[in-house]
Amino acid sequence: MYEFDYHTPQTIDDARALLSGRDDPKLLAGGQTLLPTMKQRLAAPSDLIDLRKVTGLDGITGAGDTLRIGAMVRHAAVAASDEVRQAIPALAALAGGIGDPLVRHRGTLGGSIANNDPSADYPAGCLALAATISTDRREIGADEFFLGMFETALEEDEIITGVAFPVPRKAGYAKFPNPASRYAMVGVFVAQTGNAVRVAVTGAGPGVFRVPAMETALASDFSAQAIADISVPSDGLLEDLHGSAEYRANLVTVMAKRAVQSAL
Amino acid sequence: MPTVTMTVNGKQRSAEAETRTLLVSFLREQLGLTGTHVGCDTSQCGACVVHVDGVAVKSCTLLAVQADGAEVTTIEGLAKGRELHPIQAAFKEHHGLQCGFCTPGMIMTAVDMLRRIPEPDEPTIRAELEGNFCRCTGYHNIVKAIKAASEAM
Amino acid sequence: MPADKGGNGAQSGIGAAVRRKEDFRFITGAGRYTDDITLPGQSYAYFLRSPYAHAQIAAIDIAAAEASPGVVAVFTGKDVAADGLGGLICGWMIHSKDGSEMRTGAHPVLALDRVRYVGDHVAVVIAESLAEAKAGAELIDVDYEEYDAVVGVEAALAENAPQLHDEVPGNLCFAWELGDKAATEAAFDRAARRVTLTFANNRLIPNAMEPRAAIGDYDRGTGDYTLYTTSQNPHVARLVLSAFVGVAPEHKLRVIAPDVGGGFGSKIFIYAEETVCVWAAAKLRRPVKWTAERNESFLSDAHGRDHVSHAELALDADGRMLGLRVHTRANLGAYLSTFASSVPTYLYGTLLSGQYDIPAIYVEVDGVFTHTAPVDAYRGAGRPEATYLVERIVETAARELDMDPVEFRRRNFIREFPHQTPVIMNYDIGDYDASLNEACRLVDYAGFADRRAASEARGRKRGIGFSAYIEACGIAPSQAVGSLGAGVGLWESAEVRVNPTGSVEVLTGSHSHGQGHETTFAQLVSDQLGIPIENVEVVHGDTDKVQFGMGTYGSRSGAVGMSAIQLALDKVIAKGRRIAAHLLEAGEEDITFDGGSFQVAGTDRAVPFADLALQAYTGHGFPTNEIEPGLKESAFYDPVNFTFPAGCHIAEVEIDPETGVTHIENFVAVDDFGTIINPMIVAGQVHGGVAQGIGQAMLENCAYDPESGQLLSGSFMDYCMPRADDLPEFVVGMTETPCTTNPLGIKGCGEAGAIGAPAAIVNAVTDALGIRDIAMPVTPERVWRAINS
């Protein structure tokens, strides 16, 4: 790891000021992806701005049909939260399946979605639930937020403050982990909110994506059977040692079915 | 170079550390607490697990400066003299270790596991060990040790 | 015997599940591994490694690195060569069919003009800190001319393939054979049925949890060198480094292997890194430390397995085996590692008879160089490859004969001992029916059909697979291995030092890095001398303390290491009887030793062991002109034969056809290890071995890019290590036919799991799917494709 300057601002404004005045600053939330990357010398930020002391990024609050989770809330806290488990149990389950228990004690919601790893879990939850990402300057809908592999709509010096999740009628998440890394090889989040159904897939493609054909089918019949014959084309899906694009395409259908079953 | 101060195994400890110093390096090299190990460079194996402010974390994926002001417990802080923590005792009783290299991380993870889940069944124990690799035991006796400790505690 | 926590219920002695003496330090964080050691003035080494699988080094510019802050020195292959150091060696000579010696090129400690695999050692930077050493390494400018590379055996043997070594035309290190070719051909000629299979034995990366490490130290006052290193056999390291590499004279080099965090073979070998640390420490007059990062373990620890084999089994009309013919191509990597040549030959071909009475066997093995990391012994070393081949083709034959695989095995088992196989080995004893029957009982084979039907009703596919393995352990009789090409004898030494207070130190060459020797060996001594186990200390891992030893590998510590201890104990007791005869004023022939006391037979006159020990050192009670004072004996034990642990593993799996995920429903291992000293520790060895065998069969695979030679599975992100939730609870059972050729009847238990498990798993998966073969590891995608093809 290369040397860097380390800062612990107390407020969002201080954090933003630090972001704008440095060579190549990076925000540090849970650090569970950033630090391994830096250890491998694949990233060399000039400054790390640790958000751990910044106020206003914590907390889980439920208000009516929306659940708001602060950007610095750890995965373990989401998984264990009574509010989340009651309002959106599938989201608690998703958080409880990220990484391993040690990683979940450090990793954060904001850090995960800002990184937008193509095999991360949270992007699928955010997209399927039509979440709204709050930043220090605006609110961004999930459909606009996730742009592709490690790319988001965030500006260079923009800081995520939290995410608001509409509470669905039903939701389920099913993940097929990469056997080695345990990241999602395919993860499918299915949510029925109001009368609309959204299906979001992570791990399979270069970024999280929706499957409109499944959404339509599930809107009229919310059952695993309804999507059993719907598959996504394998063109453009990821391939690695553990799974070809064709296999991932198969898993999208299988995991989608299982997500629906878990939602019932 | 910043001075990092933390309470380690109940004692306040301070040392200078570069900002890039990982918590595990700080513990091993600056404080001489070599019971915490490094087994990989991708934050997966769990040989480095310690407790920071009461929860188990991978000390290879945390900067020492991030733990400034924190309460840290390492494997060296678990037993009271010769009196073993029940999980340590269970690892010995049930042959939950062979070469011993993964053992400190494994035990620290197990302590955290039983704090959160006092009576885990076998599949739960196995799932909770996702972040800890052992190459010697096939996990069989580690799982047994944790189960036995949960019953004893 | 009930396994797992069984034992005879006793708290000590042979057969008791004694809790381990070494555990306290490990569970309290007080273990002392190489990287835990910090010497005053220590510097840090970082190795610059080749990013190419095959390249010529036109030039290396180290000036900027040398000037980098904190850098103490930068060395390249030229510096090593200038000091006259030899290259790394292979200690086992293999002769090809035509009688010629195996061909190999030099294996320089640091590359001279050519690099031959990704991770090959190009230069070392030594600095005040590791970070400064790494920063310095980034400033080294290497001018590489990249060449084509080959990573697979077929590609390496192809015409016009890129060449590894000028001395090795066609990349063929050896073309070895074993067995009677003509007799085997005759068997095939009269066979009623032939069964053939062609398959690979996948390449593995050992991944002991403790990465390799070394600290070199040099005392300029005395000229003494010290090397702390993660070794399974510190004396062999000292011998090779002094006699062959020439780093230091043997008597001036002390090698210490402190606590070592697992080895599985990968820490037998003498590598470039520890060689450089001890050499550079003398050059720089300060300690030099290197600790591998895991990515370096992936790149440069010796890998395991990597065979491609074609096997043919000849059967008569009644399903009896007539002959076995095998042609294997073994990937040796870029250079010959320390024991590399023995693994796919004498540790492999000699086990191809399995548990079966096969009258004729002929095996050919081509050892092939490729642009990959060196391949050497990994848990089982040759024997897993042999077992996989035999047990896969046996299961396949049973299916083609439409016979129950259990019945087919029974029809062909060896039942008379000793049994001479057509491939060198002479099995002294075994009872293969016993382990097969016990395994069938434990897995409830009779109930399998119902379980399969229940799985089918749930839309799942269930299968069962058997693996009746045999291995050769207790490696090895010196004369035998010498005649087969080994460069050293493979005996073991022991010294039993009785202190004046009656406590005992046992010095052994069998290093312990997880096997629990500090307990098991002490159990033996406690049992034989009748003293409390607390009064026995086992000393190992330091060449200054233990005179010589051959180390821990090949499941030899019990069969060879403990036999040596037993011989030394016999001498201690014999001398004790002579002393007791004087003390008790009786004839030596009248002295008995039992329960920790020397006694005049038929009387109540006795002297306890501790009292006798004190007398031995004070010398007051016996004539020291007739009997030397003191009580300390040593022994070198050279076995007369290998030992032959054998057993039966059964896997029962259930497959989810939608995803191809295979779940292990039952895994039963029944093993015959001969005499068992500590059943708890033995069961633990089985668990760990089976986990690695299941790892090979279902999860682990070392993959190189066939074009670029880049290591694709270079971290735990891509190399699938078995986790707790990948594995089932194992059912372990034991049968016992004590080995007839060593004093304790021990056969060895360290590798059996890794040897037996893979074929059981693949046999179960192919049974579930109703297919002939599937490649290891049986990943979900491979299973899914098999279902959907």
Q: What is the 3-state secondary structure (H, E, C) of C213-259?
A: EEEEEEECCCCEEEEEECCCCHHHHHHHHHHHHCCCCHHHEEEECCE
pLDDT score at B81:
85
Q: How confident is the model at residue C478, as a pLDDT? A: 87
CB contact under 8 A, A254 and C659: yes
Cβ contact, residue pair B62, A40, below 8 Å = no
| Structural class in CATH, domain B86-152 | mainly alpha
**Contact (CB<8Å) B61/A35:** yes
Do C658 and A254 make contact, defined as CB atoms within 8 angstroms? Answer: yes
Q: Which of C18, C20, C24, C27 to mutate to test the interface with B (most CBs of B within 10 A)?
A: C27
Chain B interface disruption, residue of C18, C26, C298, most B CBs within 10 A: C26
Q: Is A20 part of any domain?
A: yes
In a domain, C353, yes or no: yes
* Same domain for A160 and A33: no
CB distance from C719 to chain A under 8 Å?
yes
Looking at the fold, whether A140 and A176 belong to one and the same domain comes out as yes
In this complex, which of B18, B39, B123 lies closest to C209 when CB atoms are compared?
A: B39
Task: Give how far A210 is from chain C: nearest CA, Å.
Answer: 21
Hey, where are the domains in chain B? Answer: 3-77, 86-152
- In chain C, the residue whose alpha carbon lies closest to the alpha carbon of B93 is C19
Instruction: State whether C687 and B137 contact (CB < 8 Å).
Output: yes
Partners of B126 on chain C (C-beta within 8 Å) are 723-725, 727
Domain of residue C524: give its range: 492-637
- Give the up-direction half-sphere exposure of residue B32: CA atoms within 13 A in the CB hemisphere: 3
Q: Return d(Cα C116, Cα A109) in angstroms, integer.
A: 45
Q: Model confidence over B77-110: pLDDT tens digits?
A: 999 988 999 999 999 999 999 999 999 999 999 9
The neighbours of chain B, by the rule of 3 or more Cβ pairs under 8 Å, are A, C
Check which CATH number belongs to the domain holding C552 and give it: 3.30.365.10
For residues A27 and A75, state if they share a domain: no
Q: Report chain C residues whose CB lies below 8 A from the CB of A100.
A: none
Q: B3-77 belongs to which CATH class? A: alpha beta
Identify whether A155 is part of a domain.
yes
Q: Could you tell me if A127 and A221 lie in one domain?
A: yes
> What's the confidence (pLDDT) of residue C8?
57
Residue A125 belongs to domain spanning: 60-263
Q: How many residues does chain C have?
A: 789
**CB A40 to CB B66 under 8 A?**
no
pTM: 0.97
Does B59 have pLDDT greater than 70? yes
Query: How far is the alpha carbon of C67 from chain A, nearest alpha carbon, in Å?
Result: 18
pLDDT at residue number C6: 47
Structural domain contains residue C8: no
C592 and C653 inside one domain: no
Q: Which chain A residues are closer than 8 Å to C699 by Cβ?
A: 179-180
| CATH number, domain containing residue A185 | 3.30.465.10
A43 inside 8 A of chain B by CB:
no
Q: Who among B19, B55, B58 is closest to A4 (CB)?
A: B19
Chain C environment of B127 (Cβ under 8 Å):
724-725
Answer whether residue C613 is part of any domain. Answer: yes
The ipTM of this complex is: 0.98
User: Do C534 and C657 reside in the same domain of the chain?
Assistant: no
Chain A: nearest CA to B81, how far in angstroms? 27
Same domain, C705 and C616: no
Of the residues C582, C606, C637, which one is the last residue of a structural domain?
C637
Q: By the CB < 8 Å criterion, does A170 face chain B? A: no
Q: DSSP secondary-structure letter at C404?
A: -
User: What is the pLDDT, as a whole number, of residue C748?
Assistant: 94
Q: Nearest to residue A201, comparing CAs of A263, A251, A167?
A: A251
CA distance C696 to C691: 9
Which chain C residues are within 8 Å of B78, Cβ to Cβ?
A: 28-29
Q: Are residues A75 and A203 in the same domain?
A: yes
Cis link prior to C476 (omega < 30° from 0)?
A: yes
Distance (Å) from the C-alpha of residue A262 to the closest C-alpha of chain C?
17
The pLDDT tens digits of the residues spanning A54-72 come to: 999 999 998 789 999 999 9
With contact defined as 3+ CB pairs under 8 Å, the chains touching A are B, C
The total domain count for chain C is 3
- pLDDT, one tens digit per residue, over B2-19 is 899 999 999 999 999 999
Q: What is the pLDDT of residue C4?
A: 41
Is residue A5 within 8 angstroms of chain B, CB to CB? yes
Kindly state whether residue A53 falls inside one of the protein's structural domains. Answer: no
CA–CA distances in Å: residue C760 to residues C146, C320, C400, C454, C748: 43, 21, 18, 21, 21
Q: Is the dihedral of CA B108, B114, B117, B123 positive or negative?
A: positive
The rounded radius of gyration (Å) of the Cα atoms in chain C is 27
Contact status of B93 with chain C (Cβ, < 8 Å): yes
**Claim to verify: residue C578 and residue C531 sit in the same structural domain:** yes
Residue A213: what pLDDT? 98
A–B interface: beta-carbon pairs under 8 A: 74
User: Do the Cβ atoms of C659 and A251 come closer than 8 Å?
Assistant: yes
C217 closest CA partner among C111, C115, C289, C126: C289
Spell out the residues 6+ positions from residue A201 whose beta carbon is closer than 8 angstroms to its own: A124, A186, A187, A188, A208, A209, A210, A211, A232, A252, A256
Mean pLDDT across chain A: 96
Q: Does C350 lie in the same domain as C246?
A: no
Asked if the structure places residue A148 within a domain, the reply is: yes
Res C547: pLDDT: 85
**B135 Cβ under 8 Å from any chain C Cβ:** yes
Query: C272, C300, C328 — which closes off a domain?
Result: C300
CB C97 within 8 A of CB C255: no
Partner B contacted by C743 (CB < 8 A): no
Q: Does C630 share its domain with C648?
A: no
Check C659 against A176: CB less than 8 A apart. Answer: yes
Verify that A19 and A131 share a domain, yes or no: no
User: For A130, left (φ over 0), alpha (ψ -120 to 50), or beta?
Assistant: left
Is there a domain that residue C16 lies in?
no
| Pair type for strands A5-7 and A47-50 | parallel
Answer yes or no: do C555 and C628 share one domain: yes
Q: Which segments in chain C show pLDDT lower than 50?
A: 1-6
Alpha carbon of B62: minimum distance to chain A alpha carbons (Å)? 7
Judged by a CB distance cut-off of 8 A, whether residue B29 touches chain C is: yes
Of C300, C333, C360, the domain-final residue: C300
Q: Looking at the structure, do residues A88 and A22 belong to the same domain, yes or no?
A: no
Domain annotation covers residue C240:
yes
A66 and A41 both lie in a single domain: no
State whether C319 and C464 are in the same domain: yes
* C130 in a structural domain: no
Whether C742 is in a domain gets the answer yes
Query: Based on the domain organization, do A35 and A98 belong to the same domain?
Result: no
Nearest neighbour of C208 by CB, restricted to B74, B135, B143: B135
Is the Cβ pair C784, A247 closer than 8 Å? yes
Would the CB atoms of B130 and A32 count as touching at under 8 Å? no
Asked if residue A155 and residue A40 are part of one domain, the reply reads no
Task: Tell me if C294 and B107 make a contact (CB, 8 A cut-off).
Answer: no
Number of domains in chain A: 2
> What SS3 state is found at C745?
coil
pLDDT of residue C411: 98
Task: Tell me which chain C residues have a C-beta less than 8 angstroms from the C-beta of B60.
Answer: none
Which amino acid, one-letter code, is at A198?
Answer: R
The answer to whether C128 and C137 are in contact (CB under 8 A) is no
Q: Are residues A212 and A102 in the same domain?
A: yes
Distance from CA of C539 to the nearest CA of A (A): 37
Residue A2 forms contact with B (CB below 8 Å): yes
**C462 inside domain:** yes
Closest of C777, C578, C775 to residue C697, by C-alpha: C777
Give tens-digit pLDDT for C380-437. Answer: 999 999 999 999 999 999 999 999 999 999 999 999 999 999 999 999 999 999 999 9
In this prediction, residue C1 carries a pLDDT of 38
Cα-Cα-Cα-Cα dihedral of A5, A8, A9, A11, to 10°?
150
Nearest chain B residue to C34 by CA distance is B34
In chain B, which residues have their Cβ closer than 8 Å to the Cβ of A40?
Answer: 41
Residues of B in contact with A35 (CB under 8 A): 22, 43, 61-63
pLDDT above 90 coverage of chain B, percent: 97
B110 in contact with chain A, both atoms CB, cutoff 8 A: no
Q: Tell me the one-letter amino acid at C294.
A: R
* CB-CB under 8 Å, B134 with C36: no
Whole-number pLDDT of residue B4: 97
Which residue of chain C comes nearest to B46, CA vs CA?
A: C209
Judging by DSSP bridges, how do beta strands C646-656 and C461-470 pair with one another?
antiparallel
A102 → chain B, closest CA residue: B57
